[in-house]
């Protein structure tokens, strides 16, 4: 109760800091609340773990090199069912909970969609009472913080642990050794079995830090285990120089800031093996406590490989089964296949991870031997199955002196899934077609989902309370119940209430924009939002070109009618991705020009918010009117901001790409603005090789005028950047068909403006979007993973399925 909470809170504050509420800083109050919550859910955590153990329940382990939870306090309070009590209790003490949650640093151990998906899944797995755990890396520095200096992106380190982390628990007793380098050869042991003998290995200590993943009001607390590197006591004497120690500690120091882009570096490869080996060792160690025979491990353990970064799970699991459990190759392979499953998140060729053979051999000699044997057997077995030998060349793991991580992941997994219908189809028919012909039954689709509690209940309180008043509160437990809102699509009172909630969120965002960028925007304008990593295929450039067209229209005809719009961007570019940084500079300079031009009369504003992250998304998304999902068809595997924006009542402008297709299917053609060429047309262009960007430049005066602005000084301070953009389109033939889709994009934008003017119509479409967003709950997504891929079941108090 509130009273109990107040007593406990004061007591904890005084124990921790010897202070009263009046003297404590927000940080001290935050730490006090965090520690109180931590003690409160610890018993549930222990109980959850005991139940899994006693029931000997099969558990899933989600291996991901990225997790992107953002802040945890508010969502933990919600899931613990403490939120209201704590808010009221704190208010009584004169404390605003929002001031405390401000203090928490975002946990940003991920780049974007993939890492955020992993965290949405962690929330949903616990909330569905499913036995599933995360396994990853505890980076000392998260994704860089972005600043703009003269319109350029500058990266600053994200020292997120400097203020402490109230959620994690270091588990020294669960540490394991992970070995790198050295030489290995095989020797017969006493029983005539071949065993590896190692020389000169480097032994590192992997120390786990566990964070409770609290289920929504179900008393389940699962675990996200993140590994940190240390020098083992036994090896202390070896690494005496500071430099040597530094190289080792670097292993878990920083997250690689690449999104959809593979990067070949020894440290990255070492990171991949480090968390894979530590994770698998700890799983096998746990399995032994169950006292079940090792060849049945697949009945108790499922391991999920999130993108190819953890693909070394396959040879590492084989290594342990062979070298430590004494299995034959055939037995080991049979269980490995049953344990492993893999999700592919992209079809972009540059994101396909390949490691040079020499690097793998040097860093992981035994693992490399095992990969070689997997490859040899794959070739041998496939030769018997196929007529066309060229397929082997295209599918084998080791080829052209490189190890293909996706091939390894596919060959060693019983399930391979894409993340939206179109993406999964493209995997089967194009990108992984050869593998599909070899293993058709392994391929399946699991359309992404989002943690709707965080993205609606927590991020959008005004909308949530309208929903409560209109359809009751069941949607909070059951997102599909949002459908009931459809009964009110012509109810002016409800439409007005929804509009008022949106208005409040827009005022909130406008205040943040004023505070952080000193730009004044009017909540009466259309808030048009594109938030995602900066990437050429996502086509922020198409958005910018349309903005420039609007600006030029206003300049040519200052007194004509133009419905006010605020174009809002949030995007980080990988530090090494020069073209993406060029686009950022161009957007920022255009913003400078447009925002300060008196002719514009504030009808057009461009806001590029610095340092887009989970917390900022929680402010932007509830305030969005328009959701920009404008990637070139076929290139965005799924997208998840599209789902978050829809859930918050934004109306989507989209190509038929990724999960945009499922959104269209959910809301109907009339309630989404589709434009642009289809994936089929994209592939037809590839085939016929007939795309000519320059012809659009020559034939379309609007395109010509817009592109000239990049190079004729219209937009100041982008001499080299403007030229680079111009060349990418005209000289290098516009890889992502921006010019091809421009006209149809402009038309779709004009339709949006017309529709927005009809307030009632707009509000109705917005309502229909909210009402149909329940299908994108990650709860549903993880249940499908649980049923189809992992074969795990929700925990039940007295179940004893293993007798
Ligand atoms: C990533 O965020 C994604 C793919 C990838 O290969 C690497 C990274 Cl870091 C994204 C996809 O681009 C996006 O479409 C998808 O929604 C997301 O992964 C989650 O599946």
pLDDT over 80 at 802, yes or no:
no
98 and 110 housed in the same domain = no
Q: At what angle do helices 26-54 and 73-80 cross, to 10 degrees?
A: 50
Number of Cβ within a 10 Å radius of residue 585? 22
Closest ligand 1 atom to residue 344 Cα is: 6
Asked if residues 765 and 651 have their Cβ atoms less than 8 Å apart, the reply is yes
40 and 141 housed in the same domain = no
User: Is residue 371 a part of any domain in this protein?
Assistant: yes
Q: Ligand 1, residues 120, 137, 257, 259: which to mutate, most atoms within 8 A of Cβ?
A: 259
Ligand 1 centroid – CA 351 distance (Å): 10
Q: Tally the domains of the chain.
A: 3
15 and 159 housed in the same domain = no
**Residue 145 annotated to the active site:** no
Query: Each residue of 353-367: pLDDT tens digit?
Result: 999 999 999 999 999
Q: Check pocket membership of 714 for ligand 1, CB cut-off 6 A.
A: no
Query: Each residue of 264-277: pLDDT tens digit?
Result: 899 999 999 999 99
User: Is residue 475 a part of any domain in this protein?
Assistant: no
**Residue 336 annotated to the active site:** no
**56, 428, 442, 532: which is the annotated catalytic residue?**
532
Tokens 């961007």 label which residue?
569
**138, 404, 423, 538: which is the annotated catalytic residue?**
538
Q: Would you state the pLDDT for residue 404?
A: 98
User: Is residue 470 a part of any domain in this protein?
Assistant: no
pLDDT over 80 at 615, yes or no:
yes
Q: Specify the CATH number for the domain of residue 143.
A: 3.40.50.2000
Query: Each residue of 109-151: pLDDT tens digit?
Result: 999 999 999 999 999 999 999 999 999 999 999 999 999 999 9
What distance lies between CA 603 and its chain's CA centroid? 34
Looking at 627-758, list the stretches that DSSP marks H as alpha helix, in order from N- to C-terminal side.
Answer: 641-647, 660-667, 679-688, 693-699, 701-711, 719-730, 738-757
Closest of 113, 531, 540 to residue 346, by C-alpha: 113
Distance in angstroms (rounded) separating the CA atoms of residues 174 and 278: 10
Query: Each residue of 618-639: pLDDT tens digit?
Result: 999 999 999 999 999 999 999 9
Interface predicted TM-score of the whole assembly (ipTM), two decimals = 0.97
Ligand 1 centroid – CA 344 distance (Å): 9
Q: Residue range 467-495: average pLDDT?
A: 98
Asked if residues 606 and 567 have their Cβ atoms less than 8 Å apart, the reply is yes
DSSP run (H or E) holding 209: strand 202-214
Query: Each residue of 645-674: pLDDT tens digit?
Result: 999 999 999 999 999 999 999 999 999 999
Closest of 406, 264, 413 to residue 346, by C-alpha: 406
621 and 648 housed in the same domain = yes
**Residue 245 annotated to the active site:** no
User: Is residue 624 a part of any domain in this protein?
Assistant: yes
Query: Each residue of 294-303: pLDDT tens digit?
Result: 999 999 999 9
Q: Would you state the pLDDT for residue 797?
A: 62
Burial of 98: CB neighbours in 10 Å, binned 0-12, 13-18, 19+: exposed
Percent of the chain with pLDDT over 90: 95
Q: Check pocket membership of 351 for ligand 1, CB cut-off 6 A.
A: yes
Query: Each residue of 696-748: pLDDT tens digit?
Result: 999 999 999 999 999 999 999 999 999 999 999 999 999 999 999 999 999 99
Q: Would you state the pLDDT for residue 799?
A: 43
Per-residue pLDDT band at 263 (split at 50, 70, 90): confident
Least trusted range by pLDDT, from 233-247, 452-466, 705-719, 751-765: 233-247
Q: Which of 417, 447, 477 is the last residue of a domain?
A: 447
CA torsion 401-402-407-409 (nearest 10°) is 130
171 and 234 housed in the same domain = yes
Q: Check pocket membership of 114 for ligand 1, CB cut-off 6 A.
A: yes
176 and 93 housed in the same domain = no
pLDDT over 70 at 10, yes or no:
yes
Distance in angstroms (rounded) separating the CA atoms of residues 202 and 42: 36
Q: Would you state the pLDDT for residue 795?
A: 87
Asked if residues 672 and 693 have their Cβ atoms less than 8 Å apart, the reply is no
Least trusted range by pLDDT, from 60-64, 151-155, 230-234, 688-692: 230-234
pLDDT over 80 at 800, yes or no:
no
Q: Check pocket membership of 640 for ligand 1, CB cut-off 6 A.
A: yes
User: Is residue 461 a part of any domain in this protein?
Assistant: no
**45, 145, 345, 635: which is the annotated catalytic residue?**
345
Q: Which long-range contacts (CB under 8 A, 24 or more apart) does 431-438 make?
A: 431/347, 432/344, 432/406, 434/391, 434/394, 434/395, 435/395, 435/407, 435/410, 437/391, 438/382, 438/385, 438/386, 438/391, 438/395
Percent of the chain with pLDDT over 70: 99
Per-residue pLDDT band at 455 (split at 50, 70, 90): very high
User: Is residue 713 a part of any domain in this protein?
Assistant: yes
636 and 740 housed in the same domain = yes
420 and 562 housed in the same domain = no
Q: Check pocket membership of 346 for ligand 1, CB cut-off 6 A.
A: yes
**Residue 532 annotated to the active site:** yes
360 and 233 housed in the same domain = yes
pLDDT, mean over the chain:
96
Task: Give Cβ neighbours of residue 755 (< 8 Å, ≥ 6 apart).
Answer: 651, 761, 762, 765
What distance lies between CA 221 and its chain's CA centroid? 22
pLDDT over 70 at 435, yes or no:
yes
Question: Residue 592: which domain range?
Answer: 518-755
Q: Residue range 188-210: average pLDDT?
A: 94
pLDDT over 80 at 239, yes or no:
no
Q: Would you state the pLDDT for residue 261?
A: 83
What distance lies between CA 676 and its chain's CA centroid? 26
**640, 655, 714, 781: which is the annotated catalytic residue?**
640
Q: Residue range 552-561: average pLDDT?
A: 96
% helix, strand, coil for the chain, step of 5: 55, 15, 30
Asked if residues 652 and 660 have their Cβ atoms less than 8 Å apart, the reply is yes
CA pseudo-torsion sign 724, 726, 729, 732: negative
Looking at 297-395, list the stretches that DSSP marks H as alpha helix, in order from N- to C-terminal side.
Answer: 313-319, 329-339, 357-363, 365-385, 390-395
99 and 139 housed in the same domain = no
Q: Residue range 186-203: average pLDDT?
A: 92
147 and 211 housed in the same domain = yes
CA distances from 642 to 123, 323, 419 (A): 19, 47, 14
User: Is residue 796 a part of any domain in this protein?
Assistant: no
15 and 112 housed in the same domain = no
User: Is residue 464 a part of any domain in this protein?
Assistant: no
């Amino acid at each position: 109760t509130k009273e109990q909470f107040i007593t406990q809170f004061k007591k904890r504050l005084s124990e921790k800091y010897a202070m009263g509420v009046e003297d404590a800083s927000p940080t001290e109050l935050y730490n006090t609340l965090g520690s109180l919550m931590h003690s409160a859910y610890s018993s549930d955590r222990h109980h959850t773990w005991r139940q899994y153990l006693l029931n000997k329940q099969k558990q899933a382990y989600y291996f991901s090199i990225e997790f992107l939870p953002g802040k945890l306090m508010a969502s933990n309070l919600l899931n613990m069912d403490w939120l209201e009590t704590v808010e009221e209790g704190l208010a009584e003490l004169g404390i605003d909970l929002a001031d405390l949650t401000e203090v928490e640093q975002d946990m940003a151990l991920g780049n974007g969609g993939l890492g955020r998906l992993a965290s949405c899944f962690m929330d949903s797995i616990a909330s569905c009472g499913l036995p599933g755990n995360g396994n990853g890396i505890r980076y000392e520095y998260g994704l860089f913080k972005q600043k703009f200096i003269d319109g350029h992106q500058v990266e600053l380190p994200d020292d997120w642990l400097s203020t402490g982390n109230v959620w994690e628990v270091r588990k020294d007793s669960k540490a394991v050794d992970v070995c790198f380098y050295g030489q290995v050869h095989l020797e017969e042991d006493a029983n005539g079995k071949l065993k590896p003998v190692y020389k000169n290995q480097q032994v590192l200590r992997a120390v786990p830090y566990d964070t409770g993943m609290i289920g929504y009001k179900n008393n389940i607390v699962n675990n996200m285990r993140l590994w940190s590197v240390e020098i083992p006591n036994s090896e202390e004497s070896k690494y005496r120089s500071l430099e040597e120690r530094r190289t080792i500690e670097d292993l878990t120091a920083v997250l690689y800031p690449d999104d959809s882009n593979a990067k070949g570096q020894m440290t990255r490869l070492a990171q991949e093996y480090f968390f894979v080996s530590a994770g698998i060792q700890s799983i096998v160690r746990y399995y032994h406590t169950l006292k079940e025979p090792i060849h049945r491990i697949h009945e108790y353990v499922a391991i999920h490989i999130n993108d190819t970064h953890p693909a070394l799970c396959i040879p590492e699991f084989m290594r342990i089964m062979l070298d430590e459990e004494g299995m034959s190759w055939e037995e080991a392979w049979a269980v490995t296949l049953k344990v492993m499953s893999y999700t592919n998140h992209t079809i972009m060729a540059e994101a396909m991870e390949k490691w040079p053979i020499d690097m793998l051999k040097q860093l992981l000699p035994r693992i490399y031997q095992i990969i070689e044997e997997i490859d040899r057997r794959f070739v041998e077995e496939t030769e018997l199955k196929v007529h066309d030998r060229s397929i082997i060349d295209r599918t084998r793991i080791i080829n052209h002196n490189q190890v293909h991580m996706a091939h390894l992941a596919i060959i060693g997994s019983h399930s391979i899934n894409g993340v939206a219908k179109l993406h999964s189809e493209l995997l089967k028919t194009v990108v992984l077609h050869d593998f599909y012909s070899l293993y058709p039954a392994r391929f399946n689709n699991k359309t992404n989902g989002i943690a709707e509690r965080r993205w609606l209940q927590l991020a959008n309180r005004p909308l949530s309370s309208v929903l409560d008043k209109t359809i009751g509160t069941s949607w909070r437990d059951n997102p599909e119940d949002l459908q009931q809102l459809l009964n009110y699509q012509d109810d002016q009172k409800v439409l007005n209430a929804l509009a008022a909630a949106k208005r409040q969120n827009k005022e909130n965002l406008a205040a943040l924009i004023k505070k952080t960028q000193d730009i004044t925007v009017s909540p009466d304008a259309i808030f048009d939002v594109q938030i995602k990593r900066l990437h050429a295929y996502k086509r922020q450039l198409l958005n910018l070109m349309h903005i420039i067209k609007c600006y030029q229209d206003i300049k040519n005809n200052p007194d004509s009618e133009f419905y006010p719009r605020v174009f809002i961007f949030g995007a980080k570019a990988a530090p090494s991705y020069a073209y993406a940084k060029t686009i950022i500079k161009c957007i920022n300079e255009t913003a400078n020009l447009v925002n300060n031009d008196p002719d514009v009369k504030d009808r057009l504003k461009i806001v590029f918010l610095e340092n887009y992250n989970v917390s900022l998304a929680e402010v932007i998304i509830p305030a969005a009117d328009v959701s920009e999902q404008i990637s070139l068809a076929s290139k965005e595997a799924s997208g998840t901001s599209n789902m978050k924006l829809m859930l918050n009542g934004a109306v989507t402008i989209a190509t038929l790409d990724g999960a945009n297709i499922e959104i269209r299917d959910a809301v109907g053609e009339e309630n989404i603005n589709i434009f642009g060429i289809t994936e089929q047309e994209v592939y037809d262009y590839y085939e016929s090789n007939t795309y000519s960007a320059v012809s659009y430049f020559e034939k379309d005066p609007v395109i010509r005028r817009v592109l000239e602005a990049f190079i004729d000084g219209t937009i100041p301070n982008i001499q080299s950047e403007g030229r680079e953009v111009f060349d990418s389109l005209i000289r290098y033939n516009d890889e992502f068909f921006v010019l091809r889709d421009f006209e149809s994009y402009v038309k779709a934008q004009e339709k949006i403006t017309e529709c927005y003017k009809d307030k009632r119509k707009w509000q109705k479409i917005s309502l229909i979007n909210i009402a149909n967003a329940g299908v994108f709950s990650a709860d549903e997504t993880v249940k499908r993973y649980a049923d189809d891929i992992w074969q795990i079941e929700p925990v039940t108090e007295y179940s004893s399925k293993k007798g």
